[in-house]
Every structure is written in structure tokens, then in C-alpha cells.
């Protein structure tokens, strides 16, 4: 609940899946999965999780409430009303105004509770009467108070018509098709880099993913748009079996869209949620194709900048794919703010570096220089080291966001201390990868892969 409250929905999913692995079929982690995926816009999977929670605990109003929320978001008003009626039958006072007010005061503010304001509170008081109170319950129950309260408010008080389409509205289409050929079906993901839709390319009959970059580009202006478009086309030129391929870049009046490969499977983040840590041989098998992909990109001057377990996909067919090269930077072109001159240089080993005013990435996995805006291939090597450490031990070397000071001082426990039995060579490799100085860090992904493979005993013939 705390992760959801701080809007760390991906982390909340990992925590819920880990809890589910320990308690299979438990309704509480299923509810949290459903809510986290709802917040990320993964509505179809959220409804499946909520339905599983209902089946696992039909007497728990929380599960019915979450499913009602998801169903309403999917446009199933009848299903949402039926689920709300079930909530009302199980716990008539669950939406007590005092609880909603308490949540608002605590700053929970999920799904519009704070925005609803006094109108929601008065509507609940009117419906429940002066005796409609329940004692403060568990965290999950308090969460559902807000969810169900908002749903009741929305069904009884028609919202005013918005002056403009909401930010998560479906992209404008012509004849039901985006760009005349892509039929959008559902939102499958939403994050800081944009909204992702599952779609069908009608001309080829294949399923694709389409990322709407409009929200991110809104504040950049025309020059920034051209800069970003050029960058997107650079990434689209990366054709490699271990990189999620971009099929097309659509520069349309209603926004910029990336059309890319739609892959089903599990991320390494999900694998860690299920198993907590992975055998070293499996780590090598997963990271070897990642290194191939990075080496390919680096040779073409492209740095990923946000490598982490959540961006490494293992498809249903067993192929490893690196995702989200969409925030990569090309380091032999302009990387400053649009219109600024590039600041390129090479280190003593000839590694190209450049400064950017756009610092992106996930702090726990970012190299110290990346946090300062320095773009270089060896920043991806640092991220590889963090991934390997986490995969082999089940923990991050720098917990939380991992401060720059801690990284610069190498304040992390050796993997062999975290998990006795791991080879000394692994600690040696990690020390080279997590070197805070990019000039003395392990030089590249290919060398990382070679050294990691050397730590794994060969399979018997």
C-alpha cells in the first residue's frame, strides 16, 4: 500500500507478486496487483487479478470494490454496479464519509478522492446517515474506502464535461484507425515516457504496440519535437534480435507515436519476484543476449540509459529482449537541450562521452556520472552490474534510490557476503562494473559477458 501511495506502481507489483509466491491464492496480494495495474493503465490484466481476488475471497468486500473500479474504467458500468451492490451487501458502511475524509487528510488521494472534495463527503453522509461509520481497519480496507467512495460519487453525481480530452484519452483516429492502418484495442502500460497501446496493423495483420509520446513532447515546442523525432528514428534503426524493434515512427497532427514489436512474456523483474534470486548460470544466460544488444547499440553510438530488470523481457518463446530503448541517446549528435551545441569528448580509452541537460533513468540503476547528465556507454555497464548484483543476491547494491554519495564511496556489501557461496570472481566483476569512475570501469558489455561466462562451470557433455 505504501508503494502505491507513493505511486511506485511497478515496485508495488513486484512486492505483491513476491507475496503471492509465498501465499498462492491469497486475495490481498491479488487485490494490490489489480490496483497497481489499474493505476498503470493495464486494465485487462487488472480485471483478471481482481476477479481472481474475488474468487479467492468472495466474502471480502475489498476485492469486489477493486473490480468495480476497474470495470468502470473499462466502460463496464453494469458490471461495476453489480460489484458495488455486492460491496453494499457485505459491508453497507464501507464508504463512510469519515473514512474518506481521513484518507484525504492523510494525502492518499487515490483515484480522485482529493479532487472530489466536500461533494463526495456530503454525498456519502447523505447516503449512509449519521450512523454510517466503521472503525478504522487494515490498510487494504482503508484503500478500498476511497475506491468505493469515488465510484458511488461518480455514479450518483454526473461529472461536468471536461474542457479538453483527458490525458489518457484514446488517440484521435480516422475511420477508426490510427494513421489509416492501426486499430487500437487497449492500454497495456503507462509510465513517465508515455502511454502504450496494444494495436493491430491492419495492412499486415500483426499485433503491435504503440507508444503515445505526446504528453512528454507537450512542453518541448516545435524545435524539441524535431529533436525528439530525429532521436526516435535513430533508435528505430537499431535492428537486432535482442532489441524490441521499432517498426515505424508516426509524426501525426495529434501527436508522435512509436510503433514497435509486441512481445508477451515475463520481465526479469517478474522472475525475481517469483524466485527472489536467480542461479548464477541463469544470470549469465539472461544477460548474455542483453550484452549482445548493448554492444550492438554502443557500436552505433546509442546508449540505453535505463537498463534494469523491468526492461529485460523473456518472451513466451524464451527469447531475451531489451526494452525501452526509447529514452536512449545517440552520443555523436546533439544531446543538449534543443538548439544547444553538443559537448563531446573522448576519455583516455577513446570512449565517446557527451553531456545532456535531460537526465533520465531509474536512480538505483544509474551510474554516478549519468545522474550528472554525462552520456557514455560505460554508464550502461554500471547498470549491468547493478542488474547482475540484484539477480544473483535478490537485493540492490544501493537500496532505495541509491545516492550518488553512496555509489561514489562504493558503499555496498559484496555479493559473497549477501549470499555466501557465490564465487569470488563475481565480486571482482561487480567491483569493476560498479566503479564510480567511468574512466576505470569495465570497458564494455562484451567484456562483461565474457567475464560472467567464465564464472559459470561448463555443462557436462
The pLDDT value given to residue 347: 47
Q: Per residue in 81-96, is it b (16+ CB within 10 Å) or e — as a string?
A: eebbebbbebbebbbb
Q: Is a pLDDT exceeding 90 seen at residue 452? A: yes
Mean pLDDT of the residues in the chain: 74
Check whether residue 238 and residue 126 sit in a common domain: no
Q: Provide the pLDDT confidence category of residue 33 given band limits of 50, 70 and 90.
A: confident
Cell 461536468 appears where?
A: 160
Query: For residues 127 and 50, what is the distance between their CA atoms, to the nearest angstrom?
Result: 26
358 is a domain residue: yes
**Of 261, 292, 317, the domain-final residue:** 261
Check whether residue 351 and residue 435 sit in a common domain: yes
177 is a domain residue: no
pLDDT in tens, 280-301: 999 999 999 999 999 999 998 8
Told to judge if 98 belongs to the known catalytic residues of this protein, a careful annotator would answer no
Of 130-144, 231-245, 354-368, the one with minimum mean pLDDT is 130-144
- Provide the CATH number for the domain around residue 446: 1.10.510.10
Check whether residue 134 and residue 110 sit in a common domain: yes
- Provide the CATH number for the domain around residue 116: 1.25.40.10
Check whether residue 297 and residue 418 sit in a common domain: yes
pTM over the 0.75 mark = no
459 is a domain residue: no
Q: Taking the CA of residue 123 as centre, how many other CA atoms within 13 Å lie in the half-sphere pointing to its CB?
A: 19
**Of 261, 281, 313, the domain-final residue:** 261
Q: Is a pLDDT exceeding 60 seen at residue 431? A: yes
pLDDT in tens, 385-423: 999 999 999 999 997 656 788 999 999 999 999 999 999
**Of 209, 229, 261, the domain-final residue:** 261
pLDDT in tens, 370-384: 888 888 999 999 999
- Given the residues 201, 306, 324, 435, select the one marked as catalytic: 306
Taken as a whole, the chain contains a residue count of 461
CB-neighbour burial class of residue 306 (10 A; exposed 0-12, middle 13-18, buried 19+): buried
161 is a domain residue: no
Domain containing 212 equals 182-261
Count of other CB atoms within 10 angstroms of residue 361: 18
Q: Per residue in 181-209, is it b (16+ CB within 10 Å) or e — as a string?
A: ebebeebbbbeebbbbbbbbbeeeeeebb
Percentage, residues of the chain above pLDDT 90:
33
Check whether residue 356 and residue 386 sit in a common domain: yes
Check whether residue 371 and residue 249 sit in a common domain: no
* Three-state SS letters, 254-303: CEEEEEEECCCEEEHHHHHHHHCCCCHHHHHHHHHHHHHHHHHHHHCCEE
Query: For residues 386 and 254, what is the distance between their CA atoms, to the nearest angstrom?
Result: 39
Check whether residue 149 and residue 244 sit in a common domain: no
Check whether residue 113 and residue 224 sit in a common domain: no
Count of other CB atoms within 10 angstroms of residue 385: 23
- Provide the CATH number for the domain around residue 206: 3.30.200.20
The pLDDT value given to residue 224: 66
Q: Apex CA 109: angle with CA 103 and CA 110, to 5°?
A: 110
165 is a domain residue: no
Q: Can you point out the beta strands (E) in 299-405?
A: 302-303, 312-315, 320-322, 329-330, 344-346, 352-355, 374-375
CA distances from 179 to 169, 172, 253, 277 (A): 17, 9, 10, 44
Of 110-119, 191-200, 348-357, 361-370, the one with minimum mean pLDDT is 110-119
Check whether residue 252 and residue 276 sit in a common domain: no
Number of domains in the chain: 3
70 is a domain residue: yes
46 is a domain residue: yes
Average pLDDT over residues 425-441: 97
Check whether residue 243 and residue 277 sit in a common domain: no
Amino acid at each position: 500500500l505504501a508503494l502505491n501511495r507513493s505511486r511506485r506502481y511497478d515496485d508495488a507489483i513486484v512486492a505483491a507478486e513476491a507475496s503471492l509466491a509465498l501465499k498462492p491464492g491469497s486475495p490481498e496480494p491479488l487485490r494490490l496487483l489489480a490496483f497497481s495495474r489499474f493505476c498503470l493503465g493495464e486494465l485487462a490484466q487488472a480485471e483478471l487479478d481482481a476477479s481472481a481476488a474475488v474468487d479467492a475471497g468472495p466474502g471480502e468486500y475489498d476485492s469486489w470494490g477493486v473490480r468495480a473500479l476497474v470495470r468502470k474504467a473499462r466502460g463496464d458500468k453494469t458490471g461495476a454496479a453489480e460489484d458495488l451492490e455486492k460491496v453494499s451487501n457485505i459491508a453497507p458502511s464501507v464508504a463512510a464519509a469519515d473514512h474518506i475524509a481521513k484518507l484525504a487528510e492523510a494525502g492518499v488521494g487515490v483515484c480522485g478522492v482529493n479532487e472530489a472534495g466536500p461533494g463526495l463527503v456530503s454525498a456519502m453522509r447523505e447516503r449512509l446517515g449519521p450512523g454510517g461509520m466503521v472503525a478504522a481497519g487494515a490498510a487494504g480496507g482503508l484503500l478500498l474506502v476511497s475506491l468505493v467512495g469515488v465510484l458511488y460519487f461518480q455514479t450518483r453525481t454526473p461529472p461536468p464535461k471536461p474542457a479538453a480530452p483527458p490525458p489518457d484519452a484514446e488517440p484521435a483516429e480516422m475511420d477508426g484507425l490510427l494513421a489509416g492502418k492501426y486499430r487500437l484495442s487497449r492500454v497495456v502500460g503507462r509510465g513517465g515516457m508515455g502511454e502504450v497501446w496494444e494495436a493491430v496493423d491492419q495492412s499486415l495483420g500483426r499485433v503491435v504496440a504503440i507508444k503515445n509520446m505526446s504528453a512528454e513532447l507537450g512542453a518541448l515546442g516545435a524545435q524539441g519535437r524535431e529533436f525528439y523525432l530525429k532521436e526516435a528514428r535513430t533508435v528505430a534503426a537499431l535492428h537486432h534480435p535482442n532489441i524490441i524493434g521499432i517498426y515505424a515512427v508516426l509524426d501525426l497532427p495529434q501527436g508522435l507515436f512509436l510503433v514497435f514489436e509486441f512481445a508477451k512474456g515475463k520481465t526479469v523483474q517478474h522472475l525475481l519476484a517469483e524466485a527472489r534470486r536467480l542461479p548464477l548460470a541463469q544470470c549469465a544466460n539472461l544477460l548474455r543476449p542483453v550484452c549482445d544488444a548493448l554492444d550492438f547499440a554502443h557500436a552505433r553510438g546509442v546508449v540505453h540509459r535505463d537498463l534494469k530488470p523491468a526492461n529485460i523481457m523473456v518472451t513466451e518463446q524464451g527469447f531475451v529482449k531489451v526494452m525501452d530503448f526509447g529514452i536512449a541517446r545517440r552520443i555523436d549528435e546533439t544531446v543538449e537541450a534543443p538548439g544547444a551545441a553538443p559537448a563531446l569528448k573522448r576519455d583516455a580509452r577513446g570512449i565517446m562521452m557527451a553531456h545532456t541537460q535531460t537526465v533520465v533513468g531509474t536512480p538505483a540503476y544509474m551510474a554516478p556520472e549519468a545522474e550528472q547528465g554525462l552520456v557514455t556507454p560505460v554508464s550502461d555497464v554500471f547498470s549491468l552490474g547493478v542488474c547482475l548484483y540484484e539477480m544473483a543476491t535478490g537485493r540492490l547494491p544501493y537500496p532505495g534510490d541509491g545516492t550518488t554519495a553512496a555509489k561514489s564511496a562504493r558503499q555496498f556489501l559484496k555479493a559473497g557476503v549477501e549470499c555466501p557461496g557465490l564465487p569470488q570472481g563475481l565480486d571482482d566483476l561487480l567491483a569493476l562494473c560498479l566503479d564510480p569512475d567511468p574512466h576505470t570501469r569495465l570497458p564494455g558489455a562484451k567484456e562483461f559477458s565474457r567475464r560472467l561466462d567464465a564464472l559459470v562451470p561448463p555443462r557436462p557433455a
